[in-house]
Amino acid sequence: MADSTTRTARTTIHAGGAWLESVSGATRDILDPADATPFAVVAEGDEKDADRAVEAARSAFDGGAGAWPRTPVAERAALLRRVADLLVRDRERLGLLESRDAGKTLEEGRVDVDCVADAFRYFADLVAAEAPGRVVDVGSPDVHSVVVNEPVGVCALITPWNYPLLQASWKIAPALAAGNTFVIKPSEITPLTTVALIDLLVEAGLPAGVANIVTGPGHTVGARLAEHPDVDLVSFTGGLVSGTKVAQAAALTVKKVALELGGKNPNVVFADACATDEGFDTAVDQALNAAFIHSGQVCSAGARLIVEESVRDRLVAELARRAQRIRLGRGTERGVECGPLVSEQQRAKTEAYVASALAEGAVLRCGGKRPDADATRPATGYFYEPTVLDHCHREMRVVREEVFGPILTVETFRTEDEAVLLANDTEYGLAGAVWTADAGCARRVAGRLRHGTVWINDFHPYLPQAEWGGFGRSGVGRELGPAGLAEYRETKHVYQNLAPQPVRWFAG
């Protein structure tokens, strides 16, 4: 196994236990979104690099008695726990790297590392506690029949740029727990913490070839992994257009596919949730958290505030007042609450959505522009002010399409049925929330919302034990929880006849 300490800036491709440059020798500069300056260099892989990594993963899976799928479950679980301990050890370093790479605040980066460690521990405990198989009673003492779980094989894991380390862990931890080998392709924009995670897997003692990474763009590396005949499963988190292409490519070889494709998530606030000063302040604070954490670059962001008409004016006024006070700046600076967008392309996309909304009749309550530069906010950075758009309606692009920027749209309702109608009027179905003091109303609305996760009087908590996934065009399959482990498995029925007899169907 290669010594990870010998890796250089250009050797960010890991295949067969070795850190490598790209076959072509190409590299890519990684930019700090706070000032648009390069601060790291990675290998720019292509289809040949993907083939090399898949070959290594295939060999590690198909090897002899010592291959990873045949490693005892207790040993696999122990390795995952060692990785969790290493993550805790390197929390500050990884949190800082995540902050610089993705633009989020340092505190968000630290929390992400904590969540990643929790995911590795959860899947270690889950797989270690499982029964060896489900016995099927066939009614005969001469037959032993059991259904067992088997690893899928070689897994292609394709992750997004907004939560690079967290999303990688949601795929890597269950894949390894189940006994698979993998090739991961992080976003070419934010690959650094995923590379660092592979370093930790190597340090924890994972055998060569089990974990492989190819840094490079989606249209070459990702496309090749999705279509590769030696890949058995592809798990993709990202946009709808790219996810559709992944599914189409995977269909050619009938791979198992898991897709998490984003959302346009409603945050429904009933008037009774704001009946007290405490309730009102909580609803405002959580609406800000839902919409503007990580500058709105979250698949589950509560970007659609759907509020009962009688409290809309008061709620929107306070939201705008608070949003204007959010401290923008470089995520590593003390006191900064919101960092830059990840790229100039993402900021331009956000600006285009605001322009279209205003042209369609939305009322700008705050934000809607690039902030003035200051000591913590370089003029070259990709900053955009938190924006509240009032008087929005369902026909607006900004209401219907996923923005991935710091934009909160406001719609109103008068009745419970209208609230549910608005909340479900989306082609996505990832997550949503309902705020009310009426427990009966909360249960009714939560039951009627067509979204994979529904929070009641809260927004954004994730639990490793609970499945995460969506309805509609938010994707197929589940991550986290027992279902997340099941995504990386196939089931096998083993039927053993202890007293075989001839059947004599045919003469002879």
Catalytic residue among 299, 338, 366, 392: 299
Could you tell me if 167 and 159 are in contact, meaning their C-beta atoms sit under 8 angstroms apart? yes
Q: Strand, helix or coil at 495?
A: strand
Could you tell me if 486 and 172 are in contact, meaning their C-beta atoms sit under 8 angstroms apart? no
pTM of the model: 0.95
Q: Say whether 299 is catalytic.
A: yes
Buried b (16+ CB within 10 A) or exposed e, 380-416: ebbbbbbbbbbbbeeebebbebbbbbbbbbbbbbeeb
Buried b (16+ CB within 10 A) or exposed e, 441-466: bbeebbebbbbbbbbebebbebebee
Q: What is the DSSP secondary-structure string of 205-258?
A: TPPTTTEEE--S-IIIIIHHHHH-TT--EEEEES-HHHHHHHHHHHHTTT-EEE
**Distinct helix (H) and strand (E) counts, the chain:** 15, 22
CA atoms within 13 A on the CB side of 472: 18
Could you tell me if 208 and 1 are in contact, meaning their C-beta atoms sit under 8 angstroms apart? yes
CA dist 297 and 116 (Å) reads 19
- Alpha-carbon distance values, 420 to 85, 306, 435 (Å): 44, 10, 13
What pLDDT, on the 0 to 100 scale, is given for residue 113? 98
Q: Say whether 130 is catalytic.
A: no
Residue in the block written with tokens 């800000």:
288
Catalytic residue among 108, 260, 308, 318: 260
CA dist 365 and 60 (Å) reads 57
Tens-digit pLDDT profile for the chain (508 aa)?
A: 334 445 677 899 999 999 999 999 999 999 999 999 999 999 999 999 999 999 999 999 999 878 999 999 999 999 999 999 999 999 999 999 999 999 999 999 999 999 999 999 999 999 999 988 999 999 999 999 999 999 999 999 999 999 999 999 999 999 999 999 999 999 999 999 999 999 999 999 999 999 999 999 999 999 999 999 999 999 999 999 999 999 999 999 999 999 999 899 999 999 999 999 999 999 999 999 999 999 999 999 999 999 999 999 999 999 999 999 999 999 999 999 999 999 999 999 999 999 999 999 999 999 999 999 999 999 999 999 999 999 999 999 999 999 999 999 999 999 999 999 999 999 999 999 999 999 999 999 999 999 999 999 999 998 999 999 999 999 999 999 999 999 999 999 999 999 999 888 887 6
CA dist 155 and 182 (Å) reads 4
What pLDDT, on the 0 to 100 scale, is given for residue 215? 98
What pLDDT, on the 0 to 100 scale, is given for residue 6? 54
Tell me the residue type at 258.
A
CA dist 138 and 421 (Å) reads 49
Residues sharing a CB contact under 8 Å with residue 15, sequence separation 6 or more, in sequence order = 49, 52, 53, 55, 56, 209, 212, 214
Tell me the residue type at 118.
D
CA dist 285 and 326 (Å) reads 12
CA dihedral 353, 355, 356, 361 (to 10 degrees): 120
CA dist 416 and 201 (Å) reads 50
Q: Tokens for 498, please give them.
A: 């202890």
Q: What is the DSSP secondary-structure string of 18-69?
A: EEE--TT--EEEEEETTTTEEEEEEE---HHHHHHHHHHHHHHHH-STTSGG
Residues sharing a CB contact under 8 Å with residue 131, sequence separation 6 or more, in sequence order = none
